[in-house]
Structure 1
Amino acid sequence: MFELTFIGLDVHAVNVVGLALTPDTGEIARHTMAADPAAVLEWVRRFEPPVKVVYESGPTGFLLARYLQAAGINCVVAASSKLLRAPGDRVKTDRRDARVLAEMLAVGSVTEVRIPDPDEEALRDLSRLRAATAKDLAHSRQRVNAILLRYGIRYPKDTRWTQEHRAWLLHQHFSDPALQFTYNADLEQAELLAAHLARIDRQVTATAENCRYTPVIEALMCLRGIRLTTAFGLAVEIGDWTRFTGSSIGSYLGLVPSEESSGPSRHQGPITKAGNTYARKLLIEAAWQHRRPYTRPGDRLLHQLELVAPATRIRALEGNHRLHRKWEHFDERHKMPVKANAAIARELAGWCWSLAAPLQQGERMNAA
């Protein structure tokens, strides 16, 4: 069925600017309405069906798209990084943005974002809460260490943030009252964030044990460098692994080299860093673990391998050996470690896909 009308929406927290384009007649209709899904639906229904609606991904989320879809309206969300704009176009208004979206939709140039359901989005929010808290904790601890370093106070041991180290921190005193207050406040914040992170980790553990992604999480944890929080983050951020192939998932996560080629010349640059930033970060961190010596699975991996099916177990063992051999090959060639790790992370993404996608395909077949 061909759409008669294409509607672009420029969605903000307060209002929504809409533009409806009918290619057959060239008719254009504009309207500004409150940021209320019911008001948007009322305006969209003024046009003769079928219609197709698009708006740009952003902080307003997927509430409007879900509402319109539930009402039978074909609504998609456009990837903001894939929108076309002329280099010389320096005028940006809400009306222009709505028109660009409608025109791109009419010619089929919109790159659609997958719309998660509310349960999936809630799991994703929990994973991102954990990541944000861990980042805040690291910054808070850095501030404590920076104060001590500036005043020449050094902890005599290498291992930090243990119970012994915390007791040592509490005994540090400064003569200046303002400095002492600052130090105490930073130390208190670090302790509060550590306790907060521990509560989040307990919630992540409880959630991961009984959610739609539990089989995928268990399978991903069979790979080195991927423990519960990393596996949970990858599972909920990517969601439907069957959308990809072993090669396309690296492109989705921005782990493939950028390229500028013209004529006979071909130049590849750094990775594109497109797609999901958090999932890419998790894979980059996990990839470093495959550089460590590896001959056989450790106790954690042995226990984890017993929890999965034989096919998953065999595939995970192959992946662990393969990724370590790749690291050895890169080290023999004296390849820059950062570049080598990006290549390992790209291949690790493929191995994760090879574990997760078959499980999700099997679940769908069983459900059918």
Structure 2
Amino acid sequence: MNSIIYLGMDVHKETYNLCAYNNETGEICGETKCKADIKLVIKFIENLKKTYGEDLVVKAGYEAGCLGYFPYHQLTNYGIDCDILAPTTMARSSKEKLNKNDKLDARNIATNLANGTYKSVYVPNDEDLAVKEYIRMLDDTKIARKKVKQHINAFVLRQGYKYEGKSKWTLAHLEWLKTLPVTGLLREILDEYLSQYDDLCNRIDRYSDKLIELSHEESYEQPISHLRCFKGIDTTVAMTIHVEISDFTRFPKACAFASYLGLTPGESSSGSKTTYLSITKQGNTTVRNALVESAQALVKGTPGVKSKALKTRQKGQDIKVIDYADKAVERLQRKYRKLIHRGVNHNKAVVAAARELACFIWGMETGRIN
């Protein structure tokens, strides 16, 4: 039987810390710090094979972080088995709170690899990865627009003006901003802010149109059209959920998917006392936020009544898909109202709806809609 060495890698932009660990003997076979160059990692592995034999099997791994999937693809291209460890699932010692550095992090990754005390991050295919980056770019642009809105609101408030209309960022509000009686340099500042806002809006529209175009590609057409049958889920949200997760079959149950998204409550129990905490917020933040925003829209309206926009999205879809989505929406709307009636906070009720919406989406994506 070939011996196995587990290679823990604490990866950063400039440096890699490596730790080779033999689980059979509990021995640290080698440690080093090198530049962020995969060739140096391969050289380290080759030196291990010179010492322990050419039949040595190396299992490498590193924590998910800013480098994304790049080290993974580099190592697999060299034929090295590699896992990306989800940080929130790794076993950690309480001593780490007292003493933490890159060398110890590499050791911890190696021991987690050896003991299997972690869950690996799913690696999407190249197509999904490219679309995923495109969605992230769209989200970044939306964040930039939100900041510009905040700057404009703060600027107008500092000048002593207050909008008396019903809602901001409508055509009426924008016209009000353009006609404010500010002059000189102050007018130039406001015009520059408004120009930034218009530019970001145009870019968001362009990116959204491109995302709609991508959603009609063969690999996305059917799953995206099915997800859009849910109230509160448009093309952008549907693409975000589908591309970020990619393979829903890796979750054996709907509750496992909800747990992965961090939408399940934590627990702090001892003896006969059971205490449930707020949601764990572990896992994929992007999908969790998208589901909460969708739930905000979903719980509004009258149960059983569909808007024209939703009817348009459902047009031409399989009747089983439509019935499944409608039953899910009606159930979640009623659940939200029951929670509010019991005095549950609005945000908590929305998160509860988002958690169950995640379960229904898992059923839709895995074909379990009967």
**Both proteins in one fold, TM over 0.5:** yes
Which of the numbers 119, 122, 127 marks the counterpart of 1:114? 122
| SS of structure 2 residue aligned to 1:17 | strand
The letter for the 2-side match of 1:279 is V
Letter in 1 for 2:361: C
Shift, 1:329, TM fit: 1.8
1:158 to 158, 166, 171: 166
**1:309/1:87 Cα in 2 relative to 1: closer, same or farther (>3 Å)?**
same
TM-score when normalising by structure 1? 0.90
Secondary structure, aligned partner of 2:112 = helix
Does the aligned pair in 2 maintain the 1:291–1:327 contact within 8 Å?
no
What residue in structure 1 maps to residue 39 of structure 2? 38
Residue 255 (structure 1) aligns with: 263
CA distance in 1, matches of 2:339, 2:289: 21
1:51 aligns with 2:52: no
1:2–1:190 CA distance, 2 compared to 1 (3 A):
farther
Structure 1 partner of 2:235: 228
CA–CA separation in structure 1 for the residues paired with 2:89 and 2:181: 54
**Residue 79 of structure 2: aligned partner:** 72
Distance 1:353 1:33 in 2: 42
Question: Per the alignment, do residues 277 and 23 of structure 1 end up closer, same or farther by CA in structure 2, a change over 3 Å counting?
Answer: closer
Offset, 1:353:
0.9
Corresponding position of 1:337: 346
Task: Give per-residue Cα distances to partners, 1:297-329, cap 9 Å, x unaligned.
Answer: 222222222333232222112112211221222
Query: What are the residue-to-residue correspondences of 1:186-201 with 2, within 5 Å?
Result: 186-201=193-208
- The 5-angstrom pairing of residues 261-280 of structure 1 reads 261-280=269-288
Structure 1 residue ranges (4+ consecutive) displaced by more than 6 angstroms after TM superposition: none
* Shift of residue 39, structure 1, vs aligned partner: 3.1
Q: Is the 8 A contact 1:3 1:52 kept in 2?
A: no
Specify every segment of 5 or more residues in structure 1 that has no aligned partner in the other structure, as ranges. Answer: 362-368
User: Which residue of structure 1 aligns with residue 189 of structure 2?
Assistant: 182
- Give the letter aligned to residue 291 of structure 1: K
How far 1:117 sits from its partner (Å)? 2.6
Percent sequence identity over matched residues? 29
* Residue 179 of structure 2: aligned partner: 171
1:123-146 CA distances to partner (integer Å, 9 max, x unpaired)? 111112212211221221122122
Q: 2:187, 2:347 → 1: CA distance? A: 40
Deviations 1:51-85 (A, max 9, x none): 21111111011111122223322100111223333
Cα deviations by residue, 1:242-293 (Å, 9 ceiling, x for unpaired): 1222111111111111110011100011111111111111111111222321
- Call closer, same or farther: CA 1:165–1:332 in 2, change over 3 Å: closer
Equivalent position to 2:132, from 104, 124, 128: 124
Q: Cα RMSD between the aligned structures?
A: 2.2
Tell me: CA distance 1:317–1:33, structure 2 relative to 1, closer, same or farther (3 Å).
same
**1-side partners of 2:288 and 2:329: how far apart?**
19
Alignment correspondent of 1:303: 312
Q: Which residue type is aligned with residue 104 of structure 1?
A: N
Paired amino acid for 1:206: E
1:61 equivalent to 2:61? Answer no
Q: 1:17 maps to which residue?
A: 17
**Partner Cα separation in structure 2 for residue 2 and residue 218 of structure 1:** 49
Tell me how far apart the structure 2 counterparts of residues 45 and 315 of structure 1 sit (CA, whole Å). 55
Moved more, 181-190 or 255-264: 181-190
**2:59 aligned counterpart, secondary structure:** strand
Q: 1:163: Cα distance to partner?
A: 3.9
Q: TM-score, normalised by structure 2?
A: 0.89
The answer on whether the counterparts of 1:6 and 1:102 sit within 8 Å (CA) in structure 2 is yes
Contact 2:303 2:334 in 1 (8 A): no
CA distance in 2: counterparts of 1:3 and 1:75, whole angstroms = 16
Q: Is it true that 1:242 corresponds to 2:249 in the alignment?
A: yes
Q: Does the aligned pair in 2 maintain the 1:17–1:98 contact within 8 Å?
A: yes
In the alignment, which residue of structure 2 is the partner of 1:96? 104
Contact 2:19-2:28 at 8 Å conserved across structures:
no
Please name the residue that 1:355 is paired with.
364
Of the structure 1 ranges 18-27 and 308-317, higher mean CA displacement relative to structure 2 is found in 18-27
Matched ranges for 1:287-302 at <5 A: 287-289=295-297, 290-302=299-311
Quote how far apart the aligned CAs of 1:211 are.
5.5
Say which is worse superposed, 48-57 or 178-187, in terms of deviation. Answer: 178-187
Aligned residue identity for 1:107: N
Alpha-carbon distance in 1 for matches of 2:112, 2:67: 21
2:8 corresponding residue in structure 1: 8
